[in-house]
Amino acid sequence: MKLFTTISAKLLLGASLIILLVGLSAPTCLGGESNHLKTGAAMDSLSQEHAELLKVMHFKNNGRTKYEGVLGSFIDFEWFQFGGRNVPLSMQIACVSLESTTNRIYYSKIGERLKKGLSIEGHLSSDSDAVKERWTLEVIVEQLMRQNDGGKLKKRKSGRTRVILVAHNTVAEWSMLADRDQNRIVKRLTAIRKSPVTGNHPIKLHNRRIGKVDLEIFDTRLLLPAGLQSLDKASSLFGTEEKKLDVPEFYKRNMHGLLRDDPELFERYALRDTEVTAKLFFMLQNS
């Protein structure tokens, strides 16, 4: 209890910042999808434990803006370097809404081949091949919605959906986006300690599949004191059983090797990161 009191005091400034970034008012081609829904008991309860906060997030600008739906999305990528480029292996999305809590992993084409024990020779031979493996924000949001909807997208013809996209260290995750340099996205961003996040104005997305979306991006790392900046150290706040998983240092630098040698450990390691990020987000909101 003493530890959490100390941490809460140190996070007072960070808590104020997160409210500003999220904008809370008071009160394309994806690869394979894992068939496993990896949510532990602590993860499963997030929707119920934070239902009041999720309800508040349906309103913005002192109640002048009302959203039809709100999706908290906690995202992480696993990747490896090839020819000076970061090549995505998988994307993990934990989604928390009033309806459900889910945590899934999606593989790039390269990741799918490695998971199946197949060679990637000839499938990754140039920088352009590495870029083709990346995802756009619209594809990510569509997958997030499908995940929340139970596998089949619901029709969103009217109203607007608020998507809160959270990462721990957006500098690293930003390199996995195919549309990161598009002006319509860049103009909505600001950099805080080099981390790209949105400020008061969300990124506007709209197509017939996802409907109208206000997308807000921010970084939990920015809200932590110096001694807890890494996800590994921050996860220690939740106890040993819920801590970020550890793998040998060699695999941390060569995640494609871990996926090839031990796909099950790769998946558990990857999904734990989004689980920790989701729990960290809600802990910071209530600090």
pLDDT tens digit sequence for 230-274: 999 999 988 888 899 999 999 999 999 999 999 999 999 999 999
Q: CB atoms < 10 A from the CB of 70, how many? A: 21
**Contact in structure between 78 and 262 (CB atoms under 8 Å):** no
Handedness of CA 193, 90, 267, 111 (dihedral sign): negative
pLDDT tens digit sequence for 91-125: 999 999 999 999 999 999 999 999 999 988 878 87
Helix, strand or coil, per DSSP, at residue 53: helix
**Contact in structure between 67 and 58 (CB atoms under 8 Å):** yes
pLDDT tens digit sequence for 185-215: 999 999 999 999 999 899 999 999 999 999 9
Buried b vs exposed e over 165-202: b needs ≥16 C-beta within 10 Å?
bbbbbbeebbebbbebeeeebeebbeeeeebbbbeeeb
d(C-alpha 224, C-alpha 56), whole Å: 24
Please classify residue 206 by burial: count the beta carbons closer than 10 Å to its beta carbon, then call 0-12 exposed, 13-18 middle and 19+ buried. exposed
Q: What is the pTM of this model?
A: 0.85
d(C-alpha 216, C-alpha 202), whole Å: 5
